Chains A and B, each alone.
Chain A
Amino acid sequence: MTIALDAPTAGPRRWRKPPMIADARLRYALYALILVYLYVALSSVTVNYARILVGLDRGAAFVSGFLSPNFTTRWRDISNGMLESLTMTVISTAVGVLLSIPVALGAARNVAPPPIYVACRGLIAVSRAFQEVVIAIVFVAMFGFGPFAGAMTLAFSTIGFLGKLLAEDIEDIDRAQVEAIRASGASWPQLMNYAVQPQVAPRFIGLCLYRLDINFREASVIGIVGAGGIGATLNTALARYEYDSAAAILLSIIVVVFIAEYSSGFIRKRFL
């Protein structure tokens, strides 16, 4: 207690909130840098007002298409594309989940030997670095146009997504439980089954449902680069300026996304 109740201090003590970066020069340099960046970045954006003026008519046409969506004219294409998207979702999630488990085991530092660890981490890093559509371009070139390439694309992305999260969960498990099972003389597969699986399974099932959700969203766009699904239908409709059909396609995507999200949320709440 340096200051007693009645001991007057010399002059008023000022108080200012200490700034996050103590060095004032560094702080102002950083502010300047941010301003310069914003200026440079924004100046590279060109806005063509004449084009936007033309486009606004199209935007209006599209909005009116949304108010009266046309499901009938392109019904065959829509139902076909939707079925492709859905089947791609199922296949890619199933394959991706099955393959992600060994990859995750390989990418968990506490259960995998170093060379396998590096290989699996590398696979995960590549799969995560590239957007699904970029991978789809490569896979379409390899497997040809159609839903097979799309399913493989999404399976590959699923491996990276689930592999990383599951590997992190495995690395975070309680070591005491593993030691207890190991002490009973269990083999490696028994160890995985009795010590690791019970600890990571509930969250993993939740993550699989989440990924199912993502896979459908992506399955609805990778058709744009020829990998099957409703994306191709949408692209065609927009290219032909059939806004009412495009609106119908978008609405059906949104409906399925809703159903997928709510049912996976329901399953997670109800059973996990």
Chain B
Amino acid sequence: MLQIDNLTMRYPTGDLALDDVSVAVERGQVIALIGPSGAGKSTLIRCVNRLVQPSAGAIRLGGEDIVKMGVGDLRRARRRMGMIFQEYALVERLSVMENVLSGQLGYVGFWRSLLRRFPQPAVDEAFRLLGRVGLDHMVDKRADALSGGQRQRVGIARALIQNPDILLVDEPTASLDPKTSRQIMRLIVELCHERGLAAIINIHDVPLAMMFVERIVGLRAGRIVYDGPPKGLTDQRLTEIYGEEDWSGTRAEDDEDEPPAHRKVAAAVGPPELQKAAGA
């Protein structure tokens, strides 16, 4: 569904952030993007919704090439891509509800949004999403009064109210404690399965990524050096991505007694076809 072809990104400073990257993401597929700091993970997902303008290559979401779109088409394309940020990137001085509804801005005219008069279906959906992420009781709290985990839940609701085809997730757990990190990752993966959403999750925590996703892409210095299931991520592969290190203990789920968490999630809440896929 998302097709990235030969994407290259060179910053005006001359740094080559992405070097001829090609990835295809299928409908409903959640992939994790791993790699050392500065490998180009952030740049890659920012190129997809063109917060960063790539130097060469093509990105197709469904049909048209996003790289070559004009301003209006780009805005419409961005509506179909929800983004979740590392430091939450909520508008701190707006309330929880305003932050969630800001995900609808691409669908609503300027005056309606200025007067905060969103269409009732959007408001219904906002309430439903806030209930789903467990923040139904904090609707009119200001975003800067929330804890880190709560903020990220608002961030997720804001991305989902766009009714996107794909989620772009940039280090969703980098500022969170281990327990909250797992909860947030589980929530994101669950929601993707519920809605048949594809996602690219950019993440530092390799064990966490291996727990929740079915496909991992490893990036090093702007090039893809691994693309496959979590199982194939051997010590040798990790060394290729990150450099020499003792990797023992990284892959906690080496014993095959229980299925990986993403299978469990898909089997529990996913739409029938995904449940079938997970069970198979």
Is there a contact between chains A and B in the complex with CB atoms less than 8 Å apart?
yes
Interface stretch of the complex, out of A11-19, A59-67, A116-124, A207-215: A11-19
Is residue B248 within 8 Å, beta carbon to beta carbon, of the partner chain?
A: no
* A1-B136 in contact (CB<8A): yes
C-alpha spacing A17/B140, complex, angstroms: 8
When A15-B126, A17-B98, A18-B140 are in contact, do A3 and B131 touch as well, CB less than 8 Å?
yes
Q: How far is the CA of A3 from the CA of B124 in the complex (A)?
A: 12
Q: Which of A2, A12, A15, A18 contacts B136 (CB 8 A)?
A: A2
With a CB–CB cut-off of 8 A, which chain B residues contact A16?
116
Measured CA separation A12–B127 after assembly (Å): 10
Interface residues in B, total, Cβ within 8 A: 19
Q: With A2-B137, A18-B140 as known contacts, state yes or no: A13 contacts B132, CB within 8 Å.
A: no
CB distance from A12 to the nearest CB of B (A): 5
| Known pairs A17-B98, A17-B116; A12 contacts B132 (CB<8 A) | no
- Is the Cβ of A13 less than 8 Å from the Cβ of B131? no
Say what secondary structure dominates the interface of chain A.
loop
A1-41, CB < 8 A from B: 1-5, 9, 12-18
Residue of B at shortest CB range from A5?
A: B132
- Nearest to A9 among chain B residues (CB) is B127
Q: Does B97 contact A (CB under 8 A)?
A: yes
| Residues of chain B lying within 8 A (CB to CB) of residue A9 | 127
**Closest chain B CB from A253 CB (angstroms):** 41
Decide if B120 touches A12 in the complex (CB within 8 Å): yes
Complex Cα distance, B95 from A259, in Å, reads 46
Closest to A13 in B: B127
Are B128's CB and A5's CB within 8 A?
A: yes
Quick one: which of A1, A4, A12 contacts B123, CB cutoff 8 A?
A: A12
- Does B139 make an interface contact (CB < 8 A)? yes
Residue B134 interfacial (CB < 8 Å): yes
Contact pick for A2, options B98, B131, B194, CB 8 Å: B131
CB contacts under 8 Å to A, within B133-155, are: 134, 136-137, 139-140
Main secondary structure of the interface of B (DSSP, over half): helix
Candidates A4, A15, A17, A18; contact of B131 at CB < 8 Å: A4
Residues of A within 8 A of B97 (CB): 15, 17
| Residue among B116, B131, B139 facing the most chain A CB atoms (10 A cut-off) | B131
A18 to B95, CA, bound (A): 10
| Chain A residues, Cβ within 8 Å of B137 | 2
Q: Determine how close the nearest CB of chain A comes to the CB of B193; give it in whole angstroms.
A: 13
For A12, list chain B residues within 8 Å (CB). Answer: 120, 123-124
Q: Are the CB atoms of A3 and B127 closer together than 8 Å?
A: yes
CB distance from B123 to the nearest CB of A (A): 5
Knowing A1-B131, A4-B131, A12-B124 are in contact, say whether A17-B136 is a contact too (CB < 8 A): no
Question: Contact: A15 with B128, CB < 8 Å?
Answer: no
**C-alpha gap A191/B124 in the complex (Å):** 64
Residues of B within 8 A of A3 (CB): 127-128, 131-132, 136
Q: A15-B118, A15-B126 are in contact. List 20 more A-B contacts (CB 8 A).
A: A1-B131, A1-B132, A1-B134, A2-B131, A2-B136, A3-B127, A3-B128, A3-B132, A5-B132, A9-B127, A12-B124, A13-B124, A14-B120, A14-B123, A15-B123, A16-B116, A17-B97, A17-B116, A18-B95, A18-B140
Query: Could you list 27 A-B pairs, sorted by A, with CB under 8 Å?
Result: A1-B131, A1-B134, A1-B136, A2-B136, A2-B137, A3-B127, A3-B131, A3-B136, A4-B131, A5-B194, A12-B120, A12-B123, A12-B124, A13-B123, A13-B127, A14-B120, A14-B123, A15-B123, A15-B127, A15-B139, A16-B116, A17-B95, A17-B97, A17-B98, A17-B116, A18-B95, A18-B140
Residues of chain A whose beta carbon lies under 8 Å from any beta carbon of chain B: 1-5, 9, 12-18
Closest 7 CB pairs of A and B: A3-B131, A17-B116, A15-B123, A1-B134, A13-B127, A18-B140, A2-B136
Interface residues of B (CB under 8 A from A): 95, 97-98, 116, 118, 120, 123-124, 126-128, 131-132, 134, 136-137, 139-140, 194
